[in-house]
């Protein structure tokens, strides 16, 4: 639960930049707040998925040590704002995210930045298969869910690279929900199966894939991925690093332990969590906490005194 304070802080600090068109300023504010609160958490964390190698930028960088220096050794994946462009534009589904797992258990995404993904809820176990055509996956999952294909909704990032995938989904009879950004929320919403999404597919970031895997393990869902080099240089670099580019990786390959935590707080409103809501004398945040080992899903609504945050700004 201490991790929630870090995502809450990052989300609150990003609020002044919502719709202001400056995604870097929003990201910096969130990073600074998250770093400050992570320093109070009782664990010895190493950031394995962060903002790249250390440089002059005020980022939570790969290899950075976080926590108060006591407690368990952990891998940490952070995205102070998953959806900086969404935040800058004032659009929905921006999140502040942290995932934590046992030290050495998270897949290192440094060699290939993108991967193909398919994500579904528990009904998709033993049903979906990334190596098969999307139409077959949709029809089989619809049968497992006892739904008509026409009632299925598939989340896809709205990118030119997905034009054929979107056409194939629609040709199967299913509908699409096109995501402007942030396939972490798309994957989780599909795995929850409490809303209109049934599946999330497409090519997205490898770091986001590992973060999503922590959440999927907590939800009992299924995730399959395959590394996707964008060019020959990336392909050769991946092969030189020993990666099998044909191998399908599951959530258990991306995070090899069940001792995982996933925490997110809404920056702007979305299908998973509500955004930060500020009224005259208080600020309300909406968060989700998932733990794989216990299989718990907690929704945390917190009310913060606005004057405390205002004093911190001065």
- Cα–Cα distance measured from residue 292 to residue 258, given in angstroms and rounded to the nearest whole number: 6
Nearest to 138 by CA among 169, 160, 93: 169
84 is in an annotated binding site: yes
160 is in an annotated binding site: yes
205 is in an annotated binding site: yes
The 3-class secondary structure across the chain, one letter per residue, is: CHHHHHHHHHHHHHHHHCCCCCHHHHHHHHHHHHHHHHCCCCCEEEEEECCCCCCCCCCCCCCCEECCCCCCEEEEEEEEEECHHHHHHCCCCCEEEEEEEECCCECCCCCCCEEEEEEECHHHCCCCCCCCCHHHHHHHHHHHHCCCHHHCEEEEECCHHHHHHHHHHHHCCCEEEEECCCHHHHHHHHHHCCCCCCEEEEEEEHHHHHHHHHHHHHHCCEEEEEECCCCHHHHHHHHHCCCCCCCCEEHHHHECCCCEEEEEEECCCCCCCCCCEECCCEEEEEEEEEECCCCEEEEEEEEEEHHHHHHHHC
208 is in an annotated binding site: yes
280 is in an annotated binding site: no
Tokens for 198, please give them.
Answer: 């049934």
159 is in an annotated binding site: yes
27 is in an annotated binding site: yes
CA 158 to chain centre: 17
82 is in an annotated binding site: yes
From first CA to last CA, the distance across the chain in angstroms is 28
244 is in an annotated binding site: no
| Residues of the binding site | 27, 51, 79, 82-84, 114, 159-161, 181-183, 205, 208
| Residues of the binding site for substrate | 82-84, 114, 159-161, 181-183, 205
| Residues of the binding site for Mn(2+) | 27, 51, 79, 82, 208
């Amino acid at each position: 639960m201490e991790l929630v304070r870090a995502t809450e802080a990052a989300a609150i600090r990003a609020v002044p930049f919502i719709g202001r068109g400056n995604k870097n300023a929003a990201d910096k504010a969130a990073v600074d707040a998250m770093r400050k609160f992570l320093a109070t958490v009782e664990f010895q964390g190493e950031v394995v998925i962060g903002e790249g190698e250390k440089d002059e930028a005020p980022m939570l960088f790969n290899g950075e040590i976080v926590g108060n220096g006591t407690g368990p050794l952990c891998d940490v994946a952070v995205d102070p704002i998953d959806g900086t462009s969404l935040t800058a534009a004032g659009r929905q589904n921006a999140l502040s995210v942290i995932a934590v797992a046992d030290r050495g258990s998270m897949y290192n995404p440094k060699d290939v930045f993108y991967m193909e993904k398919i994500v579904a809820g528990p009904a998709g176990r033993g049903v979906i298969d990334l190596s098969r055509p999307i139409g077959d996956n949709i029809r089989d999952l619809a049968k497992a869910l006892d739904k008509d294909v026409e009632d299925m909704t598939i989340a896809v990032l709205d990118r030119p690279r997905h034009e054929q995938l979107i056409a194939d989904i629609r040709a199967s009879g299913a509908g699409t929900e096109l995501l402007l950004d942030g396939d972490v929320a798309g994957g989780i919403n599909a795995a929850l199966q409490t809303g209109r999404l049934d599946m999330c597919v497409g090519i997205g970031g490898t770091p986001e894939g590992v973060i999503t895997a922590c959440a999927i393990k907590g939800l009992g869902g299924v995730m399959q991925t395959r590394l996707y080099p964008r060019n020959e240089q990336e392909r050769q670099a991946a092969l030189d690093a020993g990666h099998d580019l044909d191998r399908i990786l599951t959530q258990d390959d991306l995070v090899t332990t069940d001792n995982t935590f996933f925490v997110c707080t809404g920056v702007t409103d979305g299908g998973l969590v509500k955004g930060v809501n500020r009224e005259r004398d208080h600020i309300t945040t909406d968060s989700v906490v998932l733990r794989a080992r216990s299989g718990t899903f907690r929704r945390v609504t917190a009310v913060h005194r606005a004057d405390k945050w205002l004093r911190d700004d001065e």
